[in-house]
Structure 1
Amino acid sequence: MLDKRYQVFVISSGLDLQHERVALFQALMNIGFFPWGLEQRTPQSNAIARRQIEECDYVILLLGAEYGELSVAGVSYMHLEYIYAVAKQKPVIVFIDLKSATAEQLSCDIQNYRKIQDFIVQLKHENAHVIYFKDVKDLEQLVRFNMMKMLEYFPSEGWVRPKREQQLQDEIQRLKTELLQAKTEIGIVRYSKSHQQDPLLASKNLWNTCFTFEYKMHAYLDGNFKEIYSKRQIEFSELLVLLSETFIRPASEEHFAQTINHFLNETALSDAREQIPRAHAVSRAQINLNDLQVLKQQFQSIGWIVPIAKDDRQRVLWKIAENGLIALQYCQETSKVSNQINQK
């Protein structure tokens, strides 16, 4: 049993896998998770689902043979909840019923079959944690094993029992001590920087290298759009310049994706035309979440943009660090010199 409790939002169609859903909830509660989800969907319940997704630690998608009730946009509420969870960068794990996912089970409704198959393709492309189960017992075992892995891969604060108040006080005191030590070390590092080593040397191997990532977008042709996938290579120095405008002041983690996606929306048309030569516009560009996570880790490890605190909604706030400002200044000076040379 876990010392902490974690809130899990469970997404399903609400139309099938009733026994599996009950078993999933029971398995989660047995290992210390609080499961939550909606079975009946309406436009009004969509707002409730979004609020619960924002507050949860993890998201589970339980997928069977049903695509689910459709919203006015023609997309199921189940699909919309998944899209919102991805947009909020929630760790998502997908469990798919192996029997229900076969063509024999789905072929009775060809439209439902096509939608569910397209959804599965999207899930496999966007999510590394897609798992098939054979029956209820198999699902229970997979949930217990993989949720422990999710805690390891995507640590979350969760909920702490009130009886551990003294332990919390001890933890707070320990963190205060570490903070004091960190401030002392920062002073030493600043002295070393001014007397011995240029901090740019620590990031020189990363500076001119390219970061390769996948992203998806809507490409428009003759009034219709098609969702396509593409790859982009951008130098880390260019990414630093791009993100520095956002993180010059503390900003929540979701601004990484928002800033890059906005940049892609403005520049992705040439990528789209490699696949659709007559495309005239693009929209809804979205960087692959796994690649985004790697990018954030790189920026944090090199000390360019780092987490500094949490806001009143317990969201992690990031800000450009001293090393990032030094690197940014170096980039601007290098660009200025290059322009002067070109003018001559």
Structure 2
Amino acid sequence: MTDKRYQIFISSTFTDLQEERRAVQDAVISMGDFPVQMESFPATDETQMAFIKPLIEQSDYYVLIIGGRYGTIDDVGLSFTHQEFRYAVEKEVPVLVMIHGKPENIASGKTEQTDAGRKKLKEFIGEAQHKRIRKDWETLGDLKLAVREALDHAKRAKPRTGWVRGDTIASFTALEELNEVRKENEKFKEALGNLAVDIPLPQIPAISDMTVLNLIPLTLKYRSGETREGSSAKIQGSWISFFPLFFSNLVVQTGDWNGEYYWHIEHEKSCVAIGSSIAGELSWADTTNLFTISRGTLDRLIAYYTEAGLMVSTTDGQRAFTEAAQRVARRHHIVDKAASFSVIEGEISVNTIPAYNPDIEKDIPF
């Protein structure tokens, strides 16, 4: 469950779709991914296609925007956009097709002026949407939403290599890879009976075993000038003691693509919500947004609760938690007993720093 970023190639005719290209660029960046487009190409003595081809090949997804123009035709008899599209298909880069839904409403200055140009555009649209799901758009808002939905679905349905920070891979990825080995081991056992060598897996801790979480302080500054800040603390409790707060505060977003539902975790928001709620159970102060846990701690909890059968192991569907997890959470709410975890180092406190008041200095008697 590494936090991947993807390289997205944005392709379209240029002069007529500059605002649309910027809108798609903004949508891609807002998702944490890297847009690649001609606006950022350096000056070079290479031909346009010779420079572009490696960028398309290295991209994870290819977004094609079609408006009212076919584009400038090269020596090969095709527009540059058409050539880019065909190269993406050739290299098996997933293509996401965005086509203007009402071409009759496009300003005349942004449409093909000749019958030959209109014919080329029609043929290109037919080729681009053949056996592909196309998304129609009319406004910049429509286009941005369509791109976000298409990329969300593509990342789930057609996962790609992407990019990850080097320091996020080690421990949790190793656990995931070990889990994949376990699954493959089970498949071979079913096919062959028993393997000559069993691959050992670490035993999952018992639900009542103790674990330690670090609460990290956050600082909030208000418009009034007042500042509130949390404190550092180390918390010890059983795995199950943290689950009700984990269940209630994990931030999960859902979506659907053509009737297929999926979900994903908002990691940063979840870390803050879970950390602040744990602190709140140990203090009378308002701890909202003043404490967080690390991403590694969140991943460790997710891994444990998944292995324990409280979370589902796939993002397909509308729920991150199993029926058993919902029942466990309900029972804990019914019991409503005091927190069964405690501070073993540091303290849970909220420090309030009032806004600076220059008039106070005038009252100082020296």
- Structure number with the higher helix fraction is 1
